[in-house]
Amino acid sequence: MTNLSQIRPRMLMGPGPSDVNPRVLEAMARPTIGHLDPQFLEILNDIRTMLQAVFKTSNKLTLAVSGCGSAGMEACVVNLIEPGDKMLVCVAGVFGARMKDVAERAGADVTAISVPWGQVFTADEIAEAIRDDGPFKVVGIVHAETSTGAAQPVETISRVVHDSGGLLLLDTVTSLAGMPVEVDGWNVDACYSGTQKCLSCPPGLSPVTFSAAAEDVIANRATKVASWYLDMSMIRQYWGSERLYHHTAPINMNYALHEALRIVLEEGLPARWERHARRHEALKSGLEARGFRYLADPEHQLPMLNAVALPDGLDEASLRKRLLDEFAIEVGAGLGEYKGKAWRIGLMGESATEKHVNGLLSALDAVLP
C-alpha cells in the first residue's frame, strides 16, 4: 500500500494541475466545519466577491461548482439548453469537441464548425455560420484551447454573436488569471473555469458566472434542467441569501479556493497576466534555440500553455519519462492530432516562474542528444 508521506514532489509543468502555494495547502488543512455553518457561508460570500473580481464581472450568479472544469462546462450547457435548442459550437481542439459532445447529450440541435489545430476563428467565420444555419440560442467557444496552445479572439466574436441575438458561452478553464478575461467587457453570458490551472489551487471546483440575460433564460425554461446536481435554479439558493440545502459542498476545497483567490488578487491581475507573458517569452526563446517548434498561430499563442513539436527524430514519450524520473519535472503529452507528436508545457500560476523555466531548459540540456 502506498505511504502518502513518501509521495515525491514534482515541478508541475504540464497542462494542469499547476504547483500549489503552501498557503493554499495550509488552508485545506483547516478544521472541517458544516456546509451550513455561518462561518462557511461567509467564506462562500468571500469566494463570490473574489471570483467576480477575477472574472471582471458584476454578475450576481457567480459561484464555484462542486466539480472540476468539465462540471462547469456541463453546468453552463445544461442550464442554458433545452431539448431542440440550436447551439453553435466552435471546435478548434479537444475541448471544443468535448463541448459539442456535452451539448448533444443535453439535447441541443448542434451545428459545429472547425478550424485546423493551432488556428483560431475569425468573427467573419462565426457570422457566416450564423447566416447559414442560425440563428442560434447559444454559441460556445473555448478561449484557451489546452490541446493546441491557441487563444481565440473573443471580443470580436462576441459582437457577432450578440448582433444575432444569441448568448455567448465561454470556456476559460486554462486562461482565467493567466491572461486577460473580461466577462462584462466582452459581454460573455456564461463562463466557466477550473481551479487547478492559473488559479494554482488543487482540482475539484469550477468557477462559473452567468449574465443577467443568461439568468432570464434559466428562470424561464419550459423544462427542468437535465442535471439535478448542476441545476443553477437550486444551487443559487444555497449560494444566495436563502441558504437552502442542495448538496454538501466540499468544505476544505473551498478553503483552498478562498486562499488561492486571495493570492491572485494580492498580486493583481495585470501583474499576473504580465508575469505569465514574460515567462512564456523566456521559455519560447529557450525552446526554439533547442530545436522545438511552436504549433499555434504565432499571433494567438497562449502564455500559459506551450504546445510544441520536438526536434526531428526524438521520442517524446521516453524524453518525458526521463524528465519525470531524473528531474521530477512533469510536462504533458499531446492530445488528439498532436498525440505522440508534441508536448504541452504549462506555465500556470505558481508554475509560471523563472525557476520553472530555467529548470526545464537545464533538464532538457541534460536529456537531449
Residues of the chain short of pLDDT 70, as ranges, are: none
| Domain limits, the chain | 22-265, 269-367
pLDDT at residue 264, as a whole number: 98
pLDDT at residue 78, as a whole number: 98
What the block records as the C-alpha cell of 169 is 458561452
pLDDT, one tens digit per residue, over 178-217 is: 999 999 999 999 999 999 999 999 999 999 999 999 999 9
H or E segment and range at residue 236: helix 232-239
Q: Is 354 exposed, middle or buried (0-12, 13-18, 19+ CB in 10 A)?
A: exposed
**Contact partners, residue 51, CB within 8 Å, separation at least 6:** 62, 63, 64, 207, 209, 261
Check: CATH 3.90.1150.10 for 269-367? yes
Distance of alpha carbon 33 from alpha carbon 358, whole angstroms: 42
pLDDT at residue 365, as a whole number: 98
Instruction: Provide the whole-model pTM.
Output: 0.97
Q: Quick check: 21 and 267 in contact, CB under 8 A? A: no
Distance of alpha carbon 115 from alpha carbon 249, whole angstroms: 39
Class of the CATH-defined domain 22-265: alpha beta
Closest by alpha carbon to 89, among 76, 75, 79, 101?
A: 101
